[in-house]
Amino acid sequence: MIFSILKFTAEKALGTTVLHCVIGIPIHFSELQRRAYLDAAAIAGLRPLRFMHETTATAFGIYKPGLPDDEPFNVVFVDIGHASMEVSVAAFKKGQLKILGHAFDRSLGGRDFDGVLFRHFAEKFKQEYNINVSANIRASRRLRSSSLVESGLPLEKIGAVEVVGPGSRIPAILRILASVFRKEPSRTLNASECIARGCALQCAMMTPPFKVRHFEVQDSFSFSIGLSWKGVPASKQVEARNIVFGSGSSLPRAKVLTFQRSGTLLINAFYADGSNLPPGAPLKIGTYQIGPLKTNKLENANLQLKIRLDIHRTLSIEPASMTEEELEASASKTIDSPEGLI
């Protein structure tokens, strides 16, 4: 519904049909959440050119000439929203932006500071005026509305700290950030528009009719992804496991794995660490079936598979190449039900 409204608003303002877009998403979105966004965009009649992590889009939005050629200028971006918090470290060089690391807390945001202040003043009103504002919905609403290191870099290598999001307006947060990074945070970006600005700039660069100077973006991934595999029938095989993409891997990214196999190969993709996933989210990403393989020989054939994290940061597995004797291989995938994720 939101995508449909945005599409309608943009088409009305521009007087033309809007089809392609770039969508900003939180860095902690899982595979199922990303695919849900792709499905929602398709239902709304949109074709996403790519997903951008929100802090990456924020960093991309301040791209400008005059960046250094050799030693990168490192900037910390802190996005404090209503319900969550994201932090990234970005290295700027001439014509290039590289994300060095991500961190996030999906359950810490401005509402938590609101809650602390609300409870403090509610108790104070009760003691001084014998008024229980917690029992009065209208009084509660008025009170709430009037209160508000993965990169590996040393602190001296941080050139600036940019703070965005509605929580960036809370003075206590700015004081905490100043004490952590030992420099005063800046709020030079529009806290409400910076993500959209970065996504719009990326969309223009990916659309040929617009003449925008190219600026390379190297993003990173927040989760470690592993694979396990068995032959069919699985009951007679020993399962092998391997971490394919580690946390902090640059994106997009692809690897080629070689298997000696005849018949059918079953591959399970999973998150190696579930601590950063949404509550209740399964570790398993999906199951891929490669085969059945049709070969002219009885012994195992060499099968190469390409494992890819694409521009949307979703996982795909496809046959890359086989031996000369290998005639054909098919690949299919099933994805677990996204219960309780969005």
Distance CA(330)–CA(318), nearest Å, equals 8
Distance CA(154)–CA(176), nearest Å, equals 18
Kindly tell me the burial class for residue 14, based on how many C-beta atoms sit within 10 Å of its own C-beta (0-12, 13-18, 19 or more). exposed
How would DSSP label each residue in 263-288? Answer: S-EEEEEEES--TTSPTT--SEEEEE
Q: pLDDT per residue over 45-60, tens digit each?
A: 999 999 999 888 888 8
Q: pLDDT per residue over 162-171, tens digit each?
A: 888 777 777 8
Q: Is the pLDDT of residue 16 over 80?
A: yes
Domains of the chain plus CATH, in order, are 2-109+147-220 (3.30.420.40), 225-335 (2.60.34.10)
Q: Is the pLDDT of residue 297 over 70?
A: no
Q: pLDDT per residue over 17-48, tens digit each?
A: 999 999 999 888 888 889 999 999 999 999 99
Q: What is the pLDDT of residue 339?
A: 34
Least confidently predicted of 72-81, 210-219, 264-273: 210-219
Output the average pLDDT for the chain: 77
Q: What percent of the chain has pLDDT over 90?
A: 12
pTM: 0.72
Q: What is the pLDDT of residue 338?
A: 36
Q: Is the pLDDT of residue 224 over 80?
A: yes
**Which residue is listed with tokens 């060499």?**
302
Distance CA(306)–CA(290), nearest Å, equals 12
CA geometry: angle 120, 122, 125, nearest 5 deg: 110
Contacting residues for 24 by C-beta, under 8 A, at least 6 apart: 51, 52, 53, 54, 57, 195, 196, 198, 199
